[in-house]
Structure 1
Amino acid sequence: MKKVTSILFAVILLVALAACGGGNSDGASGDGDKEKLTIGVIPAQTEGEMQGAMDKLQKLLSDELDRSVSIETYPDYNGVVEAMNYDNIDMAFFGPLTYVIAHEKSGAKAIITQLVDGEPFYHSFMITHKDTPYESLDDIVKNSKKVDFAFGDPSSTSGSLIPSIELKDRGVYTSQSDHEFKTIRFTGSHDATALSIQNQEVTVGAIDSAIYNQLVESGKIKGDKLKVIWKSEELFQYPWAVNKNMDEDLIKKLQNIFVDIKDEEILNAFGASGFTKASNEDYASIRKAAVKQGIIKE
C-alpha cells in the first residue's frame, strides 16, 4: 500500500511541476510574463551613435513590460532577417524590403512604424553634387555613360530596390554587371552614399529621404553642396515586426509603449518624430516591387 501511495504522490508531483512550468504564454523566449524579450535592430545611423538611445529604449521596455529586454544592433540588413528566421529574436526593426523578406521567410508581423514630421512615409532620393550639370533624372539617363552611380546596401528599399526599378524602367540598369553607367557601386549605407556624393567620388547616389534630411540637419553632410534630382512615390516607413508566435496581449503592450515614446534621443536615433501602429498590409507595394525584381517569388 505504501508503494502505491508513493507512486501516486510522485505522479501528482510531476503533473503539478509541469503545470507550473507551463510553457511560453506570449511568444517571447522562455516561460511566463517575466521572460527575456530579444530585439534586433538595423542601424539607422552608425552603431556607436545609436548606442545611448538603444540603452534608453532597452530600459524603457524592460520597465514597462516588467521583464528583461535585450536589444542588439546588427551590422547589416540580412543579419537581422536571419536572426528572426531562426527564432533568435522576438522582435526586430527592419527596412521595408527586409521586412517583406522576413515576412515571407518566417511570418514576421509588422506592428509599429515610425513617423517623420507626423507622417509614416518617406521617399527614395537620387542626389548629386551641386556643381554637376545634372538637374533631373532625365539628364542622368541621357548622360549615363559619364555617370558614376552609387546605391547603398543591396537590401535597402530606398537605397537600392526602388531606384533600381526606376533605372530599369528607364533602360539604363539591369544589374551591377549589366548597365549603361560609367560605373556602379554599392556603398553599404545611406550616410556613406551622401558623403561619396559630397566628396565627388561618385556622380549620383540613391538615399533614404528621411536619413538625408537628418544628415543635413545634424551637419554631418553639407546641404548646400548637394541637390535632389529625383524623388520616388511615398514609401511606408521602416517597421518594427514581431515573431509570428507572439501573443496578441504582448503585441498590444508593445504598440502602446512605442506610441507613447517622447524621448528625443530615442526618436532621433531613428530620425523619427514619433511612432504609430502598422500592419503587414502597409507594405504591399514594397512586396510588389520585390516580386518585380525577383527578390521574392510569387
Structure 2
Amino acid sequence: MMFCRKLCTALFLLLPLVVACESQNRQSIALASEPVVLGLIPAEQIHKMEQRFEPMRAYLEQKLGRRVEFFTATSYGGIIEGMKQDKVDLAFFGPLSYVLAEEEAGAEAFAVGVRYNGKSTYHSIFVAPRDSSIKSLEDLQGKSVAFVDPASTSGALMPTYAIKKATGMMPKEFFGELTYAGSHDRAEIAVKYGTVDAAADSDISYDKMLEKGFITKQTNLILWRSDPLPGSPLTYREDLDPRLKAQLREIILNAHQEIEVTGFGELIRYEATEPANYQVIRDMIKELGIEREEMLK
C-alpha cells in the first residue's frame, strides 16, 4: 500500500514535466514546419538576385530539412523593415544596410563571402565614359551623378565620404544633380547610355558587368577607387532560435565543401565575421552626420 502511494505521488510530480516536454515538442514541430525566410537586398534586378542566390537557398533547404523562401523588396530599407517585422529570418546585406539593420532590427553578422583573390573585402568606385572630361572627383562638380540606394555602402556612403573629403562639400551641394538608380547595374547602364555623367558602384558589380559585356572600359571607365571595405555579411535576427543559428552557421561556413557557393561576387567560400569588423562603416556614418531617415528612404 505504501509503495502504491509513493508511486502515485511520484507520477503526480512528474506529470507537469511530461506536459511541459510534450508542449516543447509541439512547439519544435511547429517551428520546423515554418519556412526560413531569406532576405535579399536589391543590389541588382530582383530576378537576377534570386537566380544568383538560388544555389544557396536550395542548399540551405536541403541541409535544414525545411523550406527556405526568398523575401525581396524594391529598396534596401524594405529588407531591413522585413527583418524588423520578423518577416525575414536570414538576410544578405551590404555593410551599411547591415549596420542599419543591426540598429533597426537586431541583425547579427555571422558570415562573409571570400572572393577568388582570397579576400572578403571590396571597393567603391566612380565611373564615367572614357571620352568624358571627368578625370577626377573634383571634375564631378556640377555634373549629373547616379548613386545606387541611400543604404548602399559602395553606391552611396563611401562615395559621399569621398566627395566630402575631397571637396569639403556633400554630394547634393557639389553635383549638379544626384539621383538614385535603385541597383548597381542600373547605375552602370545610366552611364553607358548617357542618362548621367557619372555613377558610383562597387568593383564587384563593375567586373561582373564587364565580363558579361553589358559595359566596356570605353563606355564605363573607373576614375576613382576606394580603400578596401568590409564585405557584405550574411546575417540573422538576434532573437532567432539559438539552435537554428548554430545550424545556419555550420551549414554556411562549410558549404564550400559540398557545393559551389554563390553570393555577392564570385566566391570560393564563406568565413566567419563579427560586428566589430564593420566599425569603419559606423565611423563614416558618425563623421558625416547622416541621419538614419536619410539612409532608409
What is residue 227 of structure 1 aligned with on the other side?
A: 221
Helix, strand or coil: the match of 1:202?
Answer: coil
CA deviation profile, 1:109-128 (whole Å, cap 9, x unmatched): 10111122221101110111
The equivalent of 2:284 in structure 1 is 289
- Please tell me the residue identity of whatever aligns with 1:64: K
Q: Which amino acid letter does the alignment assign opposite residue 128 of structure 2?
A: T
Q: Write the letter of the residue equivalent to 2:157.
A: L
Within 5 Å, give how 1:261-272 maps onto structure 2.
261-262=255-256, 263-264=259-260, 267=262, 270-272=264-266
Q: Who is 1:149 aligned against? A: 145
Distance of 1:11 and 1:71 partners within structure 2: 46
User: Could you tell me the TM-score, scaled by structure 1's length?
Assistant: 0.82
- Offset from partner CA, 1:111-167 (integer Å, 9 cap, x none): 111122221101110111011122222443xxx13x222211111111111111221
Work out whether residues 34 and 66 of structure 1, in 8 Å CA contact, stay in contact via their aligned partners in 2. Answer: no
CA–CA distance in structure 2, aligned partners of residues 255 and 25 of structure 1: 22
Number of aligned residue pairs: give it: 278
Letter in 2 for 1:270: F
Alpha-carbon distance in 2 for matches of 1:24, 1:41: 31
% of aligned pairs identical? Answer: 27
Tell me the secondary structure at the aligned position of residue 146 of structure 2: strand
Deviation per residue, 1:87-113 (Å, 9 max, x gap): 222111111111101111232110111
Query: Residue in 2 aligned with 1:111?
Result: 110
Distance 1:214 1:86 in 2: 33
Find the aligned partners of 2:25 and 2:103 in 1 and give their Cα distance.
27
Separation of aligned partners in 1, 2:134 and 2:254: 44
Cα distance in structure 2, aligned partners of 1:200 and 1:34: 50
Query: For residue 169 of structure 1, what is the amino acid of its counterpart?
Result: K
| Alignment partner, residue 5 of structure 1 | none
Q: Matches of residues 91-170 of structure 1 in structure 2 within 5 Å? A: 91-117=90-116, 118-140=118-140, 144-145=141-142, 147-170=143-166
Aligned to 2:178: 184
Answer whether contact 2:232 2:264 (CA < 8 A) is retained. no
Q: Distance in 1 between matches of 2:12 and 2:45?
A: 57
Matched AA of 1:155: A
- Distance, in Å, in 2 between the alignment partners of 1:127 and 1:41 is 25
Task: Give the TM-score normalised by structure 2.
Answer: 0.82
Structure 1 residues 25 and 42, CA, compared in 2 at 3 Å: closer, same or farther? Answer: farther
Deviation (angstroms), 1:206: 0.7
Instruction: Decide whether aligned partners of structure 1 residues 24 and 296 sit closer, same or farther in structure 2, where only a CA change above 3 A counts.
Output: farther
Counterpart-to-counterpart distance in 2, 1:135 and 1:53: 33
Query: Is contact 2:112-2:273 (8 Å) kept?
Result: yes
Deviations 1:210-256 (A, max 9, x none): 11111111112223322111111111111111111234443343233
Please give the secondary structure, in 1, of the residue aligned with 2:24: coil
Kept in 1, the 8 Å contact 2:41–2:92? The answer is yes
* 8 Å contact kept, 2:112–2:233: yes
Cα root mean square deviation, aligned: 2.9
Contact 1:151 1:185 in 2 (8 A): yes
Kept in 2, the 8 Å contact 1:25–1:247? The answer is no
SS in 2 for 1:170: helix
- How far, CA to CA, are the matches of 1:287 and 1:137 in structure 2? 23
* Structure 2: gaps spanning 5 or more residues: 1-10
Aligned to 1:80: 79
User: Does structure 1 conserve the Cα–Cα contact (< 8 Å) formed by 2:164 and 2:170?
Assistant: yes
Contact 2:113 2:271 in 1 (8 A): yes
Per-residue CA deviations over 1:146-192 (Å, capped at 9, x if unaligned) read x222211111111111111221223364363xx13222222121111
* CA 260–223 in structure 1, closer or farther in 2 if over 3 Å, else same: farther
Q: Does residue 277 of structure 1 match 2:272?
A: yes
**Cα separation, 2, equivalents of 1:17 and 1:35:** 23
Alpha-carbon spacing, 1:180–1:172, altered in 2? closer, same or farther (3 Å): farther
Mapped partners of 2:111, 2:168: distance in 1? 36
Q: Deviations over 1:50-78 (max 9, x none)?
A: 33444432221111112222222222200
Q: Which has the higher helix share?
A: 2
- Alpha-carbon shift at residue 12 of structure 1 (Å): 8.0
Structure 1 residue 34, shift from structure 2 partner: 5.6
Look up the equivalent residue of 1:193 and give its one-letter code. A
